[in-house]
Structure 1
């Protein structure tokens, strides 16, 4: 066999190998790409699965089935669909509150093990009518998607908690931290209305935080960008920066945690003549009280969504770590102290200094 013929055969074989990668390519026009999956309790079966599929015009198609398992319900949807169902673009997993109260471990494990579901997808709990929320639509707006409400570049604010599938899975398998899941229902003029945060103990919903408590929760976790706090007498401030310092220690067999939160804030609204020192005092007293009450409420639910156990983890033995939520966390003594620094006064002084210096220079030039 000549060298030329041998080279031709090698090139042909390589081209054949490369072409095999295209044989299973699917036409996108023959696929449904859901971005939201709702998991609720069925009327006759254990699960009801609802998929939301947007199109280019901004409208949403709804596919709905019930079955004894999540995977079976999705298979039934695929069976009746005129196009293939691909979950690779799934961005939001909505769980009915009733399901969340019974336990979501099976659901999260399914989402993680499914080869075609991204673990970066977001998780939320529906607090209201599951069907009404899943079927709710507003005027077609192609540029707006349901998951934009959880995007820090779009509709998210610190009054809303946020958790992804991989974070939920991590919390389910953690000895020292529980998860907090955003709660929502269908809106009137908007797609969603946020109701607060679902507090989970292991895989079950045990309580809730309202929007103001959720802001404190996010602030404790370092997520505060864009957070606005109302103070007494028509005063509002915007959080510019936050520094959080924890001091974890033990008093005999009781864990102690002292947390200091330093906030730099900007006054966005205030009655004329109200001094900054008074705003700082009111805000410090208000936030210190609210933080401690919220932390107390969370401890009473037996849920460590603040991740306090993570702060003590380096000092815990393997046995103590496994017993953290059941034995040590209920004994926790926690104190949160808030310090406030109003930045408006600093900026004002800097501006006055710059203007005064400029004025003196102009006066000297005129002379």
Structure 2
């Protein structure tokens, strides 16, 4: 198939199942709506904000990018649903380096300016739903050191909580939980030299062009990120 035969909206997903069995399972579950498979990806933001979409042209472009890697959806045949979202495979130069979980994949979505609306989180003593989110990214370079300040703002609705639980406790613990998750994922990404958050894109004008090819090896492992979460109650 030639590239011009692929529509610009064509999506790419990965499965570790037998592809024929997977398609057979999908056929058995399909109803009269031929768009069911596409709806799973494009309507995911309404009911599963951790689901991402990767277009074929985006994956192809990542093969030649010095400063950004890409996460591609991993799906298997679902038992009760059409498909089951297993997380995302992180690709660097076209090779799968690691697989991240659905909750980790949501961080990738956030840095792509996608909202976390609809995300349900359990703290053990309380359940909350994210009503809205926004992320501010501010890169800087001081004395040769690259830094990124990222502020994630969340508006949440408390669905359930224990009687003795205060809103301040929920707010504080949720902020700490999300920050810890991010730093664990970022630490692993730096170790693998995979820039799944696209931080390198913010320094393209601050690093000489002929040095951009060294982003993953020389600059990215030394990058400092200050990630802070700010939670507000609805």
Question: TM (normalized to structure 1)?
Answer: 0.59
138, 141, 145: which is aligned to 2:31? Answer: 141
**Which consecutive unaligned segments of at least 5 residues does structure 2 have?**
none
148, 151, 157: which is aligned to 1:266? Answer: 157
The 2-side partners of 1:296 and 1:332 are apart by 11
Q: 1:243 to 1:127 in 2, by over 3 A?
A: same
The 2-side partners of 1:342 and 1:308 are apart by 29
Deviation readout 1:193-220 (Å, 9 max, x if unpaired): 1100111112111001111111222223
The 2-side partners of 1:157 and 1:230 are apart by 12
100, 106, 129: which is aligned to 2:18? Answer: 129
Aligned residue for 1:239, secondary structure, equals: strand
Aligned residue for 1:286, secondary structure, equals: helix
The 1-side partners of 2:118 and 2:45 are apart by 14
Aligned residue for 1:150, secondary structure, equals: helix
Q: Do residues 230 (structure 1) and 121 (structure 2) align?
A: yes
Q: Do residues 328 (structure 1) and 205 (structure 2) align?
A: no
153, 157, 172: which is aligned to 1:281? Answer: 172
TM-superposed CA distance for 1:271, in Å, is: 2.5
Contact 2:109 2:115 in 1 (8 A): yes
TM-superposed CA distance for 1:156, in Å, is: 6.0
Q: 1:201 to 1:156 in 2, by over 3 A?
A: farther
TM-superposed CA distance for 1:267, in Å, is: 1.6
Which residue is 1:117 aligned to? Answer: 6
Which residue is 1:308 aligned to? Answer: 199
30, 50, 69: which is aligned to 1:159? Answer: 50
Between the two structures, name the one with larger relative contact order (CA 8 Å, sep ≥ 6). Answer: 2
| Structure with max Cα Rg | 1
The count of aligned residue pairs is 232
TM-superposed CA distance for 1:251, in Å, is: 4.5
Contact 1:159 1:227 in 2 (8 A): no
TM-superposed CA distance for 1:128, in Å, is: 2.6
Which residue is 2:72 aligned to? Answer: 181
**Which consecutive unaligned segments of at least 5 residues does structure 1 have?**
1-70, 72-109, 344-367
TM-superposed CA distance for 1:140, in Å, is: 4.3
Contact 1:160 1:194 in 2 (8 A): yes
TM-superposed CA distance for 1:283, in Å, is: 0.4
Which residue is 1:244 aligned to? Answer: 135
Which residue is 1:220 aligned to? Answer: 111
Question: TM (normalized to structure 2)?
Answer: 0.89
Aligned residue for 1:323, secondary structure, equals: helix
TM-superposed CA distance for 1:320, in Å, is: 2.0
